[in-house]
Amino acid sequence: MVPPAVGVLGVVQPVELVGVVVEAVGGCLGLVEVLPVLARGSLLLGALADDVKLLAGHLHDLFQRLFKVHCWSLASVVRWAYSGALIFSRLGYRPPLMEASTVGEVLRGVWRFESVHPDWVEEDGGEDGWERTVAWFAVSTSSGLLLIDPLVVGWPELDALVDTHGGCAGVVRTLHWHHRSVAEAAARYDVSVWAKPPSPPNRDWPPFDRALDDGDELPNGARAFAVQRDDELALWLPAHAALVFGDAMLRRPSGELRMCPDSWLQPEGGPERLRELLAPLADLPVEHVLVAHGPLVLGDGQVSLRAAIRRG
């Protein structure tokens, strides 16, 4: 019998579990990171009823060669796989999912859009840079759609979405570098722009209509958190258990969440201060972390966020 949590994983191959074990042991991860990795390994192994013998052989050979210790018997491996899958299923654990479709309604009431940034140049890329394709979001509220850092390439598509969801509630700019289509969207839908005021106030940044600062609320209980990278705000969407970041957090192409590179603008006090500011956000009941830079990965938000903050 296959454990109930296995269904979310689809078809997997034995070599995937071997990679999971190597990641867990060889990566020297902390306990909070090892548990999800082992859970995923348990679920994968439980899904491979027809390949358990082959997989057990892979594991036995792996441990013998890497650690030169006696490995578990086949029966022990099977018991570990089945028990682990059941335990983590009952705890409600689900591994993060790299979405096949990364645009459209990625969560109920949350839409993700991708656009090629018109100002991107080759020098902006690289290990400490950002990719030319960036993301922005629209969130359904009782007052209409809330647009976050819009960079619109298909206005008719957005017009239709706005029309079918009660109009536009407003536009949020998470930081001044993400002004993008903010002014055009606000004018098109006759709504206000929310943004954090510059400090000092005489900075020549794009205008906005309504000041938004640390702890301030938006429609449907959404809340802003200042991360002290100039005017940057992170947004907590409690109705969706999701955190939205402009630049403070991003994802590698592999899906790994990380803090922005040290070479990017940092708060006074540097990356260590940014870690201090982000740490309280990891205490929220976060299920999903939505970023402007990097691929969409849903689930495992709190664990991923804490791990990213520790890594820096």
Q: Give residue 13's identity as a one-letter amino acid code.
A: Q
- 61-68 contacts at long range (C-beta below 8 A, 24 or more positions apart): 62/18, 62/21, 62/22, 66/25, 66/26
Residues 108 and 182 in one domain: yes
Please classify residue 65 by burial: count the beta carbons closer than 10 Å to its beta carbon, then call 0-12 exposed, 13-18 middle and 19+ buried: exposed
Segment 79-95 shows an average pLDDT of 50
Q: Out of 40, 64, 90, pick the residue that ends a domain.
A: 90
Q: Are residues 86 and 112 in the same domain?
A: no
Question: Is the same domain home to 29 and 84?
Answer: yes
Same domain, 163 and 300: yes
Residue 280 has pLDDT above 90, yes or no: yes
Q: Are residues 125 and 83 in the same domain?
A: no
Q: Within this chain, do residues 176 and 224 fall inside the same structural domain, yes or no?
A: yes
What are the pLDDT digits (tens) for 96-128? 555 545 899 999 999 999 999 888 888 878 888
Whole-angstrom distance, CA of residue 105 vs CA of residue 111: 4
Give residue 265's pLDDT.
85
Looking at the fold, whether 56 and 105 belong to one and the same domain comes out as no
**What is the pLDDT at residue 216?**
97
Average pLDDT over residues 44-66: 46
- State the DSSP code for 198: P
pLDDT of residue 198: 85
| Same domain assignment for residues 221 and 270 | yes
Q: What pLDDT score was predicted for residue 273?
A: 94
Reply yes or no on whether the pLDDT at 192 is more than 50. Answer: yes
Q: The pTM is what?
A: 0.69
Query: Domain of 147: which CATH number?
Result: 3.60.15.10
**Domain range enclosing 159:** 97-311
The mean predicted confidence, pLDDT, of the chain is: 77
pLDDT of residue 67: 47
Please enumerate in sequence order all residues whose Cβ is within 8 A of that of 231, keeping only pairs 6 or more positions apart, or say none.
Answer: 175, 176, 195, 196, 197, 198, 199, 205
The tens digit of pLDDT for each residue in 244-273 reads 999 999 998 888 999 999 889 898 899 999
The phi and psi torsions of 141 (rounded to 5 degrees) equal -130, 175
The reported pLDDT for the residue numbered 98 is: 52
pLDDT for position 102: 85
pLDDT of amino acid 179: 94
Check whether residue 164 and residue 262 sit in a common domain: yes
Co-location of 47 and 156 in the same domain: no
**Average pLDDT estimate for 23-51:** 41
In this predicted structure, the answer to whether residue 27 has a pLDDT above a threshold of 60 is: no
Per the structure, the count of domains in the chain is: 2
Question: Among 32, 65, 90, where does a domain finish?
Answer: 90
Same domain, 228 and 278: yes
User: How far apart, in whole angstroms, are the C-alpha atoms of residue 102 and residue 98?
Assistant: 8
CA distance 227 to 236: 13
Given a cut of 50, whether residue 25 has pLDDT beyond it is no
Domain C-terminal end among 67, 90, 113: 90
Q: Assess whether 291 and 275 both reside in one domain.
A: yes
Q: What is the 3-state secondary structure (H, E, C) of 201-268?
A: CCCCCCCCCEECCCCCECHHHCEEEECCCCCCEEEEEHHHCEEEECCCEEECCCCCEEECCCCCCCCC
pLDDT digits (tens, 9 = 90+) for 135-153: 999 999 999 999 999 999 9
Highest-scoring range by mean pLDDT, 68-77, 151-160, 200-209 = 151-160
Res 89 pLDDT > 50: no
